[in-house]
Amino acid sequence: MPQDPLLTIGSEAQRALFARLVKECKHEQIEAVVGAAMNLIVNALRQTYRSRAEAEAYYDACYGRNKQLLLDHYDATTGRLRTNIPFPQVIHAAHLVDKDKF
């Protein structure tokens, strides 16, 4: 099964942290996940950059790259999710008890 392209982006440290965050956010509501992610970004930037201009420049550059990454998952003509990029969900079959005995 093909992997989600998001799992291959960034350094090894970024991918490992992303995997841990995904696992932690698995059963949360979208609003909670997005809100927490935005708070992480704002907190990291305000602790890193001492001037508003530097923080804003980094934020704009980061969001420019990531907006394109998001839009790559959608068809430009229809606006719908592309079918050639796998969905992040994985469907598992329920446990099956087979009554047939060999």
Query: DSSP letters along 35-102, please?
Result: HHHHHHHHHHHHHH-SSHHHHHHHHHHHHHHHHHHHHTTB-TTT-SBPSSS--S----PPP-------
pLDDT value, residue 86: 55
Burial of 27 (0-12, 13-18, 19+ CB in 10 A): exposed
pTM of the model: 0.64
pLDDT tens-digit readout, 19-73: 899 899 988 999 999 999 999 999 999 999 999 999 999 999 988 888 888 888 8
